[in-house]
Amino acid sequence: MAINLFLDITGPGGGRLYVLDEEGRLLRTSDFSMDENMGFSFDEPISEDIEASYASIPLEWLDFRLLELGIKDAGAAREILPFELDGLLVGPPSSYAIEAKMLAEPSMEDAEEPGAPDRVLAVYMPKQRLGSLLDGLTKEGLDPRAVTSLELASVSGKLVAGDLSGLTDGISSLEEPARVDLARAELHGTCINMRRGEFAYRGDVRKGLRTMAFTASLFITLMFVLALGFSLKAVRSGNSADMLEDRVLGIYGEIFPGQRPASARGLSYKVRSKLKELTDKSESLRSVEALDMLMALQNALPEGGGVKLLDVTMDLDAVLLKGEGKDLDTIELTRAAMESFLSDVKISETGKAVSGLTGFTISARTGEASERKSR
């Protein structure tokens, strides 16, 4: 469970530590001591996860000036205050941590001077003291989100009402229950915060940076893992490519004995060119396979007669057959049977023959011719 720590420095010797939960409920209290060098010593070690810590300093550590700046914006007032306080402080304003506490303009009925300008309470302390306090806390692993003052918070109401007497009296009467209530209220918005400028709280920035660093480390890991994955894939692809390239070169070496090119790139063109050369040569040495063709034609004729071939003309690419059949159906059956070894088989002409049978002409392409055509 995350907790809020409130260090209530009540005097030079130390103070009380309030441990509050996230809702602001008081979980426990303990004492802590503080030496003159702002070295802290806690009675109980703090083992929980600290959500945020706050420090309250005693009113006597602070000095005040009431100014009328005529502005309502605290940020602007903080910018102006060092110049306004110049000459009013012991030493240069740059040696002081200065905070502006805006005092709302009193209502018209209560106002001693109706229409008085907005007033600002300049709260300041030596930077050296604030720095020592923060260093001492840092050594204990604490980085307070704000350095406020419960005692100032306790008189805040009076200040707003224009009564500044609270700054000098009535503080010692602030008992612990009241201080705890004030501390709880401070969790939701501090009365003042002396941590400005060079002492500004950067814990959220650091937390953000830590988150960013974690995200960055995840991103870097992811990039490395992806890079590793892609590299492995590249190595595998490269090995497979090398192996296949060796085979390609092996085949190439069989086709072109004694030749061993450096890579498989562009070999297809050479091989296709060689294939074309051989195909052309083979084409030029083709012969009509007349005997096979005659036997095939004989087999294609219907058993028991019915079709008789009279003229047969064969060349390298085509076959032209003239004959007579008893009817068109038989001729068509013969044509269909020829499709098993010829292509584009067509009955191009039929008519009554002198013999009384049906004369026909069948044209066809040889298998090799149709293969070349489809290439």
User: Which amino acid, residue 361?
Assistant: T
Interaction of residue 223 with another protein, rule CB under 8 A: yes
Interaction of residue 33 with another protein, rule CB under 8 A: no
Choice between 1 and 285, CB closer to another protein: 285
Q: At what angle do helices 203-255 and 267-284 cross, to 10 degrees?
A: 20
* Helix/strand/coil for 272: helix
The single-letter DSSP state of residue 17 is E
In the list 88, 116, 178, 227, the residue contacting another protein (rule: CB under 8 A) is 227
Interaction of residue 264 with another protein, rule CB under 8 A: yes
Choice between 26 and 312, CB closer to another protein: 312
- Residues of this chain, 316-355, that bind another protein according to CB under 8 A: 316
| Bridge partners, 148 (sequence order) | 56
* Residue recorded with tokens 């950067």: 202
> What does residue 297 show for φ and ψ, rounded to 5 degrees?
-65, -40
Residues 340-344: contacts with CB under 8 Å, at least 24 apart: 340/300, 341/293, 341/296, 341/300, 341/367, 342/366, 342/367, 343/367, 343/369, 343/370, 344/370
Choice between 37 and 284, CB closer to another protein: 284
Interaction of residue 241 with another protein, rule CB under 8 A: yes
Interaction of residue 168 with another protein, rule CB under 8 A: no
- Binding string, 284-313, against another protein, x = CB under 8 A? xxxxxxxx--x---------------xxxx
Both tokens of 155, joined, read 């008189």
Rounded distance, CA 277 to CA 129, Å? 99
In the list 41, 72, 117, 230, the residue contacting another protein (rule: CB under 8 A) is 230
Q: Which residues of this chain interact with another protein, rule CB under 8 A?
A: 209, 213, 216-217, 219-220, 223-224, 226-231, 233-235, 237-238, 240-241, 244-245, 247-248, 251-252, 254-255, 264-265, 267-268, 271-272, 274-275, 278-279, 281-282, 284-291, 294, 310-316
